[in-house]
Amino acid sequence: VSPNADQTTCEFWEAIVGASRLVGNGFALKRRNAGFLAALEITEPMRTEPYRDENRRLKYRGTDQNGERFDVFSEDMFHVKGFSFGGDRGLSVVEYGAQQLSTQIAANKTAGLIFKTGLGTSGFIETKTILDDPERKKLEKIFARFQGTESTEKLMLLEGDMKFTRTSMSAADAQLLLQIQFGIEEIARWLDMPPILLMHSANGVTHWGTGVEAIVRAWYQLGLRAQLTRLEKAIQKRLFEPKDQARFFVKFNIDALLRGDAAAQAALFSAALQNGWMTRNEIRRLLDLPKSTEPGADELTVQVNMAFLKDLGSQSQQTAQTARAALLQLLGLDVDPKSG
């Protein structure tokens, strides 16, 4: 409910998961009270260093949020590692994807400069005569009036034998827009997630709901599940005491992520009730509805209108006899229903 005095659970997990996914490691110091775990305080991942002491015991040192130095054993540090090859630290996506990230930053900066200058291009003016300093300064002042976004619709007159020669590539020549789009896909690949989740649709990828649903389900099976499992095991090993690890387990409930539309939910829950593997209250809990107090709401139910083919005759005869006995009783006739 409250991992520490400053953060909510959402803020805490965003910081831990964000650090582990981007820089490879998320750290939180364990604060204890009377020997029991009382709080988890986030530490700066770039200022926290795992190392081995002379006895090969894993320890952590760094600076906490108050600027105080710490040097603790692994029992007092909650560490969520990203993908690694078995070392004490996870691998940083930012470090290994720096080239692609810097290319994307440069592309965005270049696009900003192009739009800032009114989609203009740089170049030089050719003349057949040599200009002196006063003429050069005068010409530079004229050119300055035609630079920037406010001058995009103005026309500049080149006098005499002046000729403009462009020296920079246009946005189309540099394929700048394609580079920006491809950069988004590359970043999504580094983060192991579909571009559609970054509000970007790659070429050839459908925008329809069923296609997106299939992509999200595939991402859950091949990408998100591995990340959640890594986090579950880290909580199980590094937050539970050894005596509690055999009694409790950690599992993320992501049924809401995989839950389909209303028609699909109705079909699923109907099958669950009719085949006896969910109760009504279990279904209501998944739908965030209050618990029903009606009798039988916590009991498993199955359909009773299905029977074996060999039993159809006997069941029909029993049903007829039961109906005949009920009718005679209703009429007040004391007749044995088994008699002719």
pLDDT in tens, 256-298: 666 666 777 788 888 888 888 899 999 888 887 889 888 888 8
Q: What are phi and psi of 75, to 5 degrees?
A: -65, -20
pLDDT at 309 over 70: no
Full-model pTM: 0.62
Phi-psi region of 256 (alpha: psi -120 to 50; beta: other; left: phi over 0): alpha
Mean pLDDT of 83-100: 85
Using the 8-state DSSP alphabet, how is residue 289 labeled? P
The residue-averaged pLDDT of 96-100 equals: 78
Q: What is the pLDDT of residue 135?
A: 75
Phi (first) and psi of residue 21, to 5 degrees: -80, -35
| 101 neighbors 186 (Cβ within 8 angstroms) | no
- The arithmetic mean of pLDDT across residues 311-322, rounded, is 61
77-81 and 25-33 strand pairing: antiparallel
What is the rounded average pLDDT of the residues 225-240?
91
Measure the CA–CA gap between 190 and 212, rounded to whole angstroms. 20
pLDDT of residue 65: 82
Handedness of CA 77, 82, 87, 89 (dihedral sign): negative
What confidence tens digit (pLDDT) does each residue in 100-112 have?
A: 777 777 777 777 7
Segment 4-55, tens digit of pLDDT: 989 999 999 999 999 999 899 999 999 999 888 999 999 999 899 999 999 9
Q: Which tens digit of pLDDT belongs to each residue from 144-187?
A: 766 655 555 555 666 666 776 665 555 555 566 666 777 788 88
CB atoms within 10 A of CB 29: 20
Question: Are the C-beta atoms of 201 and 208 separated by less than 8 Å?
Answer: no
Residue 28 DSSP symbol: E
